[in-house]
């Protein structure tokens, strides 16, 4: 497994977090295409998102609800891990101005040979 565009695991995780906080819709779309394979699927406890279009809608909706309107940002909660085609990303959602997390999550992403997500599982809980 390689990481997209020759990136390192750290760059991959930075890009992953950036997509959720990115204010520009065009940049978000570009990041979705860099991060996820065209036939990728993301699973949350309540939903399933298949394809770039579904992921665009998902990321844009989350940005609007949580970042733009809610005043939160997503950030790394602890060191990520990567091996054998999988990446573990511990994340949290915190008020933009600082404060305790209101949500924490664990992302498990399985990557293809090009370093793009083919399957992703998101486990989260309100704090």
Q: Please tell me the pTM assigned to this model.
A: 0.91
SS3 content of the chain, % helix, strand, coil (to 5): 35, 40, 25
Instruction: Enumerate the domain spans of the chain.
Output: 4-126
| pLDDT, tens digit, 9 for 90 and up, residues 7-21 | 678 889 999 999 999
Does the pLDDT of residue 1 top 50, yes or no? no
Q: How far is Cα of residue 2 from the mean position of the Cα atoms in its chain?
A: 18
**Average pLDDT over the chain, rounded to an integer:** 93
Q: What is the pLDDT of residue 3?
A: 52
For range 57-80, the mean pLDDT = 97
Q: What is the pLDDT of residue 13?
A: 93
Cα dist. 117→56, 60, 67, 114 in Å? 14, 18, 23, 9
CATH fold for the domain made of 4-126:
Nuclear Transport Factor 2; Chain: A, (3.10.450)
Q: What is the pLDDT of residue 99?
A: 96
């Amino acid at each position: 497994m390689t990481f997209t565009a020759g990136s390192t695991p750290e760059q991959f995780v930075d890009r992953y977090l950036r997509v959720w906080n990115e204010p520009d819709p065009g940049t978000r779309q570009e990041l979705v295409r860099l991060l996820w394979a065209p036939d990728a699927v993301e699973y949350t406890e309540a939903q399933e998102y298949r394809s770039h279009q579904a992921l665009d809608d998902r990321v844009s909706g989350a940005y609007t609800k949580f970042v733009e309107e809610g005043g939160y940002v997503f950030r790394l909660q602890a060191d990520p891990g990567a091996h054998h085609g999988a990446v573990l990303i511990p994340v949290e959602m915190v008020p933009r101005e600082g404060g305790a997390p209101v949500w924490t999550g664990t992302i498990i992403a399985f990557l293809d040979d090009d370093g793009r997500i083919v399957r992703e599982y998101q486990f989260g809980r309100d704090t």
